Each structure stands twice: as structure tokens, then as C-alpha cells.
Chain A
Amino acid sequence: MSQLAIEVNEITKMFGNFTAVDKVSFGVKQGEIFGFLGANGAGKSTTIRMLIGLLEPTSGQAKVGGYDVKTQTDLLKKNIGYMSQKFSLYEDMTVEENIHFYGGVYGLSKEKVKERKKWVLEMAGLQGRDKSLTKTLSGGWKQRLALGCAILHEPKILFLDEPTSGVDPVSRRNFWDLINELSSQGVTILVTTHYLDEAEYCNNIILINAGRLIAQGSPKELKTEHITFPILEVETDNVVTALELLRTQPWVVEISVFGTYLHVGVSELDLGKNAIRLTLATKGIQIQRIEQIVPSLEDVFLHLLEQDMKKVAA
């Protein structure tokens, strides 16, 4: 097993009586893209903030790049990069002034800042716009500039907290190309997101819910290990009524709406197909299409969240 860049051991954060993060443990290998998934308020940001030295864990240990997040925060901060969904740039300063400032506070020499500035401008596609005020840039540019500023000091570990929220799809795509490139250069990346298509780019994923870790593995492992029943995609002219009808059937394991389709998990494939046809026919609902599909990450996570909710309720 290769050396771990991030090692988290039963880390916990309490705010008063509220447990925001509950004994979460995981490991991130050097150079991998590690996805951190969960709903809003699940504890993603709190976990990241503990790993970058902004919040002190209530209990448990974590090491990032070999540095203890409780006792070695100074060394830790010099060796990591962090970018949040807010793209923390100074909007009233120019592109160049932002780069100079962040380069300066990371203690880079003048020559080094110059060299890295050239790199950032190229990476972000901002050549010739170095004298523009940051607030005049579009979301995608701001995002890439923020990333550039966060890695001016060439950290080996990078934390991205919902880096693509509020950015158009093309920019999101470009951004992930950059992430892949950094990863291929050996940078370890921990990224939180709630876009499940983005999770597919990750080497490994963890899913947390209500502060607890509920699953981890590669996207492929998650899809094959957790969903053991067939899933049928059903296209009908009345999704809402169909959902109501099928929900209560004993042979339906899980059901959820995906746009104009239904994804129905059934206990047995052929039996399920026939049962759906029959049930919907009694109410005169037409079925355009019904076929088995490979579960997407979304199916997996909805399944896992539902299981978790049942467990908590029990």
C-alpha cells in the first residue's frame, strides 16, 4: 500500500450538544482524487475545516501530509492549498494584484512569484487580462484564478470545498481537466461536491450523512457492492401517479423519480417487469419503455441514504 497523504482516525466535531462530524475515519493515497459526498449540512465542510487547521477537532486524530492537524498547524498551512466555493479573491484588486498578494503571504520570492504568475495566467486562460479587476471576470475565470492563487506555493495536497458550485457546465468541465492534470503531477486532491457526475471522476469516494460516514470505495465498487437488486427505468406519461401506485407494492424495493423517468428497484427482474405493467394498466397509465439499467452513482447514493435513514429510525 502506498503512503497515505491524508489519514483520518475517528475525527469528531461537536458544536455544543450537536455532533457535526461523528467518528469519521478514512485514508487518502498520494496523488489520488478523493471525493467527499453528502447533502448540505452533512458535515463535509466541517471535516475539511478540521483537516486544514481552521477548526480544532473535539476528538480523534488526523494527519495531513504527515502533519498533525491539532499540533502542527503552521507547517500544515505551508504545505496545503485550499479553495472554497466562495472563490476568496479580492474583487476590487486586479488579477495580478491578487496573485502578488497571495504569493507574498506564502513567502514566495519575487522571481518565484513572477514565474508562478505566468503559469497561473496560462492555466486560467487569463493571458493579457492580468490588469483587469477581478470583479469583471466571469465565474469560470474567477474559479480558475482562485485555484491558481490557492496553489501558487505548489502544495502537494489540495482541498477543494464545492469548487464548482455556481459555475457553468463548460467551465466545470475545464476545471475537472485541471484537477486531473494536477493529480497526474502527483498532487493529492480532496474535493467535496454534490454533483454526482463529478463524483465519477474521483478515484475514491466517501459518502457522509448527518456527520457519519456511510459508505466508501471507488465509484465502481460502490455501484456493484451496494445495489444487489435489478433496477428498471420506466418511462410513462404520468410519473406522479405511477410513483404513488408503485411505492406501496411489496415487490418494489426502492423507487425514485429521475426527471420524466422512474427508477424502480425490484426483487426479481422478470417478475418485476410484469408486475409494473399490470399495476399501471389497472389505472390506464401507458408505459412507453421499460428496461433494466446499470445503476448510476445517484441510484447508489439514494439507496444508501435511504438505508441509513431506516437504520436511524429503527
Chain B
Amino acid sequence: MKTIYHIIVKEFIQFRRDKRMMALSFMAPILQLILLGYAATTDVKDVPMAVYNQDKSVASRELIDQFVHSGYFIIQKDVNSLDEIDHEIEFGNVWMALVIPPDFSSNLLARKTASIQILTDGSDANSANISLGYASQIINTYSGSIIADIQKRVPLVTRPAQLQPEVRVWYNPDLKSRNFMVPGVLATVLMIITMTLTSLGIVKEKEIGTLEQLMVTPIKPYQLIIGKLLPFAIIGMIDVVLVLIVTRFWFAVPLQGSVVLLFALSGLFIMTTLGLGLFISTISKTQQQAMMTAQFFIFLPFIYLSGFTFPVENMPQAIQYLTAIIPLKYFIVIIRGIFLKGTGIAELWPQALALWIFGIVILTLSVMRFKTKLS
């Protein structure tokens, strides 16, 4: 016990002296959170669009007004030919074009189906999808109002059967992508900081030769491992507190669930990241090697495959199976659940169990490897 205490004291002294590392550990998460909190938003606003109005009727102008008033679109240009639309989209001046054919209002009056055309720049598929969604919503609303209008004027006509969907969004009622992204940032930041500190901390001692010196002292391998990992776990937890404060008070992301549960499950998650950090330290000779290994073999695949950026459900089946071995995936589900839905352990136990198993397995394997590497 005493020995472990001495190692922990030593780690904290060194951590305090290394101003850059300290800044990295405490400032970087907050900076990253703020950056991603503002930048990593998938909300689409003020989509520039062109309008080719061949009809020039009251009805067509009404429809265009709907687009303008929605707040999602800005009419950048009125055009007079399809070629012109082509040109505008190609040069990126507009993302979307609305084409109203000459027979639009006459079809409406004749109570026939009137068609309109929407062209969109698919090169940014994500934004295109979202703005298409907005556009079709506007058009639906408009056609609904036409039907209502007709009924008012001609009450004798039998009421056409219609289903008016009333959409209500749960859990993230404002549909703010920030509320969805920010808890995920907490998870990735926690992973990056704890894993980097652990692997670098151990490889550094290897580089300067103190690890060899420690192995000649009566320190037992398990004491060394606990003494080296515990301080980084503590630093990781401090990061959780910092990030929570920023998330809650700066971004005003509501925390629906239990803070205690959040901390407890963060602890489970840290077990896996410390284990991986230790593992990286056993396969790296220099700090650069450790950094590169962590970035390319852990951070990038974890971030891409965890559902942090892309929903796992949309991935091919084979890749979905692969994501099962990514601890970050479970923690992302946990943290979003606790933040946005107020989910408790009753619903999250499968994820918690997965993290627990991963933690035990990764730590055990890494410790075993570390021990054999020492001798």
C-alpha cells in the first residue's frame, strides 16, 4: 500500500511540473468541447436557393412565400431557364432550386395533381437530405392548406380522407444536433486524455531508463501498475467534472439522468481506456510510436465506428458486428441516454455489463503483457 502511495505521489509531482501536459489534460477537453459544440452541428439554416417560376400566379407566389417564411431558405436568385439553374448549382451559388411548371395553378384549379420540381446539390449529401426534408415539409403544409381551402369554398364536396401527421420530437425536442453531439464529445475526450496519459507516462519511463531502475527496487509489478494508472483515472474523472460543467452551463444541454450513474459508468469506461493505454505502452518503444499507435489504431476507428459521428444502424451489417468490440460505442449510448433521456441502470445495464467485461478483459491482458515485457 505504502509503495503504491509513493508512486502516486511521484506521478502527481511530475504531472504538476509538466505544464504542457497539464494544460493539455484540462484545457484541451474544454476547448474541444467548445469547438465541436459549435462546429459539429448538423442543423441546416439559410439554405441558398434559386427559383424558376414559370407559372407567375398567385398560387405559385404563395408557395414561394412559404419557403421564404420558413426561415430555412433564402431565395438567392430568380432564374429563367433550367440551364441557369445548372450553372448556379455548379458554381455553388445555390444548394437547391425550385422549379414551378407553367401549368401549376391551372392544375390546382382543375383539382388535378400539380407537380413541382426540386433540384438539390447532392455533393453534400447530409445537408441535401436535411434541406430536402424541410422543403417537403413546407410543400406538404402548403398542399394541406389548399385542400382545406377548397373544402371551405365548396363544402358540398365529400371530405377527402386525409391523414394529418402530427410530429412530435421526444428527448431532444428542439432537434438540436448540439444536444446530441456534446455528450459524445465528453466520451471521446475522456478516452483520448486517459489513454494518451497512460501510454505516454509508461513509455517515457522506458525511454529514460527509470522503468529498469524501478524493476530493480522491491516494487512489485501490480504495485507499479496501480500506482501508474490510478493518477490518470483521477485526472480523467476531473475531466468529466469539467466537461459536465461546460456542457450543462455553457451549452445548456439538459442533464436528464443521474449524475452519480454518469460518474459510475465513466469509471467503468476509464477501465477500458487505461487498459488500452497500458497495452499500447507494451508495444511501443518511444513516445512517438505510442502516439501514432493510439491515433491510428484506437482513436480514429473508435470515433468512426462508435456511433459518435455516424449512426451505427446505417452501417453495413458486417461493420455493425465489428462495432460490438468497440467500448466507446457502449459508452456513447450510455452517456446520450443519461443526458437526453434520463435513462437509468434498468435500461443501460447491457451496455454497463459490456463495458465491465471489456474493462476486465483488456486490463487483465494488458497487465499480463506488461508483466512479461518487464522480465
Once the chains bind, are B219 and A105 in contact (CB under 8 Å)?
yes
B194-221 residues with Cβ-Cβ distance < 8 A to A are 208-210, 212-220
Once the chains bind, are B3 and A105 in contact (CB under 8 Å)?
yes
Which of B7, B13, B209, B212 makes the CB contact (< 8 A) with A105? B7
Once the chains bind, are B3 and A90 in contact (CB under 8 Å)?
no
Once the chains bind, are B3 and A77 in contact (CB under 8 Å)?
no
Once the chains bind, are B214 and A90 in contact (CB under 8 Å)?
no
Once the chains bind, are A88 and B210 in contact (CB under 8 Å)?
yes
> From A149, which residue of chain B is reached at the shortest CB distance?
B213
Chain A hits for B220, CB < 8 A: 74
> From A75, which residue of chain B is reached at the shortest CB distance?
B218
Judge whether B113 is part of the interface by a CB distance below 8 angstroms.
no
How far is the CB of A214 from the nearest CB of chain B, in Å?
28
How far is the CB of A246 from the nearest CB of chain B, in Å?
45
Once the chains bind, are B10 and A93 in contact (CB under 8 Å)?
yes
Q: In the complex, what distance in Å separates the CA atom of A93 from the CA atom of B15?
A: 10
Which of A56, A80, A82, A84 makes the CB contact (< 8 A) with B375? A56
How far is the CB of A39 from the nearest CB of chain B, in Å?
21
How far is the CB of A135 from the nearest CB of chain B, in Å?
10
Interface size class of B (residues with CB under 8 A): 20 to 34
B357-375 residues with Cβ-Cβ distance < 8 A to A are 375
Judge whether B90 is part of the interface by a CB distance below 8 angstroms.
no
Chain B hits for A84, CB < 8 A: 209, 212-213
Chain A hits for B213, CB < 8 A: 82, 84, 88, 150
Once the chains bind, are A82 and B216 in contact (CB under 8 Å)?
yes
Judge whether B2 is part of the interface by a CB distance below 8 angstroms.
yes
Q: In the complex, what distance in Å separates the CA atom of A289 from the CA atom of B375?
A: 56
B6-59 residues with Cβ-Cβ distance < 8 A to A are 6-7, 9-10, 13-14, 17-18
Which of B210, B212, B215 makes the CB contact (< 8 A) with A90? B210
Q: In the complex, what distance in Å separates the CA atom of A104 from the CA atom of B219?
A: 10
Report if A90-B216 is in contact (Cβ < 8 Å); known contacts: A54-B375, A56-B375, A84-B209. no
Which of A53, A97, A107 makes the CB contact (< 8 A) with B13? A97
Chain B hits for A100, CB < 8 A: 6
Report if A77-B218 is in contact (Cβ < 8 Å); known contacts: A82-B213, A92-B17, A92-B18. yes
Residue in A54, A105, A106, A107 whose Cβ sees the most chain B Cβ within 10 Å: A105
Give the total of A residues in contact with B, Cβ under 8 Å.
28
Q: Is the interface of B mostly helix, strand, loop or mixed?
A: helix
Report if A106-B218 is in contact (Cβ < 8 Å); known contacts: A86-B209, A93-B14. yes
How far is the CB of A49 from the nearest CB of chain B, in Å?
8
Judge whether A234 is part of the interface by a CB distance below 8 angstroms.
no
Once the chains bind, are A93 and B13 in contact (CB under 8 Å)?
yes
How far is the CB of B262 from the nearest CB of chain A, in Å?
34
A80-113 residues with Cβ-Cβ distance < 8 A to B are 80, 82, 84, 86, 88-93, 97, 100-102, 104-107
Judge whether A226 is part of the interface by a CB distance below 8 angstroms.
no
Chain B hits for A55, CB < 8 A: 375
Judge whether A28 is part of the interface by a CB distance below 8 angstroms.
no
Chain A hits for B3, CB < 8 A: 104-105, 107
Once the chains bind, are A52 and B218 in contact (CB under 8 Å)?
no
Once the chains bind, are A104 and B212 in contact (CB under 8 Å)?
no
Judge whether A78 is part of the interface by a CB distance below 8 angstroms.
yes
Once the chains bind, are B17 and A93 in contact (CB under 8 Å)?
yes
Chain B hits for A77, CB < 8 A: 216-218
Once the chains bind, are B6 and A101 in contact (CB under 8 Å)?
yes
Residue in B7, B9, B13 whose Cβ sees the most chain A Cβ within 10 Å: B13
> From B5, which residue of chain A is reached at the shortest CB distance?
A104
Which of B13, B14, B208, B217 makes the CB contact (< 8 A) with A102? B217
Report if A101-B208 is in contact (Cβ < 8 Å); known contacts: A92-B18, A93-B17. no
Chain B hits for A86, CB < 8 A: 208-209, 212
> From A152, which residue of chain B is reached at the shortest CB distance?
B217
Chain B hits for A54, CB < 8 A: 212, 215-216, 375
Residue in B9, B10, B209, B219 whose Cβ sees the most chain A Cβ within 10 Å: B10
> From A81, which residue of chain B is reached at the shortest CB distance?
B216
B281-329 residues with Cβ-Cβ distance < 8 A to A are none
Q: Mark A132-150, 1 if CB is under 8 A from B, else 0.
A: 0100000000000000001
Q: In the complex, what distance in Å separates the CA atom of A30 from the CA atom of B2?
A: 32
> From A103, which residue of chain B is reached at the shortest CB distance?
B6
Chain B hits for A74, CB < 8 A: 218, 220
Once the chains bind, are A52 and B2 in contact (CB under 8 Å)?
no
Q: In the complex, what distance in Å separates the CA atom of A55 from the CA atom of B209?
A: 15
How far is the CB of B19 from the nearest CB of chain A, in Å?
10
Chain B hits for A91, CB < 8 A: 208
Once the chains bind, are A90 and B14 in contact (CB under 8 Å)?
yes
Once the chains bind, are A105 and B218 in contact (CB under 8 Å)?
yes
Q: In the complex, what distance in Å separates the CA atom of A261 from the CA atom of B6?
A: 56
Chain A hits for B208, CB < 8 A: 86, 88, 91
Chain A hits for B18, CB < 8 A: 92
B84-127 residues with Cβ-Cβ distance < 8 A to A are none
Once the chains bind, are B10 and A88 in contact (CB under 8 Å)?
no
Chain B hits for A97, CB < 8 A: 10, 13
> From A87, which residue of chain B is reached at the shortest CB distance?
B209
Q: In the complex, what distance in Å separates the CA atom of A133 from the CA atom of B17?
A: 10
Chain B hits for A102, CB < 8 A: 217
How far is the CB of A265 from the nearest CB of chain B, in Å?
41
> From A97, which residue of chain B is reached at the shortest CB distance?
B13
How far is the CB of B285 from the nearest CB of chain A, in Å?
15
> From B211, which residue of chain A is reached at the shortest CB distance?
A88
Report if A88-B218 is in contact (Cβ < 8 Å); known contacts: A93-B10, A97-B13, A104-B6. no
Give 10 closest A-B pairs by Cβ, nearest first.
Answer: A104-B6, A88-B213, A86-B209, A82-B216, A92-B17, A88-B210, A88-B209, A105-B217, A101-B10, A77-B218
A-B contact list, 22 entries, CB within 8 Å: A53-B216, A56-B375, A74-B218, A77-B218, A84-B213, A88-B208, A88-B210, A91-B208, A92-B14, A93-B13, A93-B17, A101-B6, A101-B10, A104-B2, A104-B3, A104-B5, A105-B7, A105-B214, A106-B218, A107-B3, A107-B218, A133-B17
Contacts A105-B219, A106-B217 aside, 6 further interface pairs with beta carbons under 8 A come to A77-B218, A88-B209, A92-B14, A102-B217, A104-B3, A107-B2
Q: Footprint of A on B, CB under 8 Å?
A: 2-3, 5-7, 9-10, 13-14, 17-18, 208-210, 212-220, 375
